[in-house]
Chain A
Amino acid sequence: MPSTRSFPTVSINRSEPLSDSELVRRAKKGEEVAFGLLVERYQRPAYAVALSVTGRHEDAQDAAQESFLVALDRLEECRSPEKFGGWLMTIVRNRSKNLVRRESLREMEEVPPGARSRVPTPERVAETSELRALLKEALMDLPEVQREIVLLHDLEGWKHREIADRLDLPCGTVRSHLHFARKALRDALRRLATEPEMLRAAR
């Protein structure tokens, strides 16, 4: 009987880095260790990409976590397992966009007409770090692709080449986006840091 059969123990030597395609191949067979390594490898970039779209920690977390489950369900659709990272980021981006769309629809239904749509939530008010709040605000003013690139590069430490491969963009475009994103961020941070809080709240 298949249900009573004991499965062979899966062992992966974690000292030698396995390629994405090898991990995907094993995860397709249901090897927990392989899928766990993929999660470990991509959880931070997935969160960064989700944060670049949603701008909120809770939404980014939900979108990133759900994306791993969707990726596992659709693993057979990953035509190039060596490009698993890029494929996963597409899922993350789409799920994050859907989440934002749903949230904004809910806000439109809940918030009475004429009310400000970006009222600070209790979580936002209670945010411990002022810098974090400023940074999020500055990030959300950037175009989405620039947010994603600056987070992957400066937060996750990805190289230009990796970002270019994963986002399917020329390396020069990635560099240029990164340059403009940083400049905009620095300017925004400087401006937000010197701007009185009252003015900021009114924006």
Chain B
Amino acid sequence: MNRRYEDMLDDGMERDMELADALASLDPASHDPNYWLRFRSWVMRSAARELAHRRLMTQLTIGDVVQSWARALVPTAVLTAVVAGLMLIHGGTLAPPRPISVEEMLMRGIDREALPTTLPADPSPDVVTFASEGF
């Protein structure tokens, strides 16, 4: 049975007008003509916020997103850079001696005091200590 024929059958043969009339009394608009208008208005009023949110989400561009990130990201980055700079300036003099290999020491010498006068009780196994012990 094709669809068109089914629809014709649906519309013509089986419409029970008496029952349809009785059921029509269940339609709220049968005793309140503006009912569906009010129904729709209520739904639309309640949905206004969600719809506005969706509009906003659609309108946001990549630039907007980057801009919103930048608001938090830039001050944080500046602050981090300042702190790092200060640490470099103040921490520069406290830098540990550069490790030096035996060959390098023999070829170029040592800038600072390389041979400790007394070895520490627990000598650390770095290259300078090894070299001093070797000599």
Contacts and interface: CB of A to CB of B under 8 A. Distances in A.
Dominant SS among interface residues on chain A: helix
Contact of A73 (B10, B50, B60): B50
A159 B10 contact: yes
Closest 6 CB pairs of A and B: A30-B54, A30-B55, A29-B58, A30-B51, A155-B23, A154-B20
A100 interface: no
Contacts of B47: 35, 68-69, 72
Contact of B26 (A5, A27, A40, A136): A136
Contacts, number: 108
A27 B14 CA distance: 36
Interface of B: 3, 6-7, 10-11, 14-16, 19-20, 22-28, 31, 36, 39-40, 42-44, 46-48, 50-60, 64
Interface of A: 2-3, 5, 7, 27-32, 35-36, 39-40, 43-44, 47, 51, 57, 61, 64-65, 68-69, 72-73, 128-129, 131-132, 135-136, 139, 150-151, 154-155, 159-161, 171, 175, 178, 182, 185-186, 189
A154 B16 contact: yes
Given A2-B64, A182-B16, A29 B40 contact: no
A36 B3 CA distance: 30
Contacts of B48: 32
Given A30-B53, A136-B26, A185 B46 contact: no
A119 B46 CA distance: 34
A198 to B, nearest CB: 23
A190 B39 CA distance: 33
Contact of B39 (A43, A139, A178, A189): A43
15 contacts: A7-B55, A27-B51, A30-B53, A39-B40, A39-B44, A40-B40, A43-B39, A51-B26, A72-B47, A131-B22, A135-B26, A154-B16, A154-B23, A175-B14, A186-B19
B44 A159 contact: no
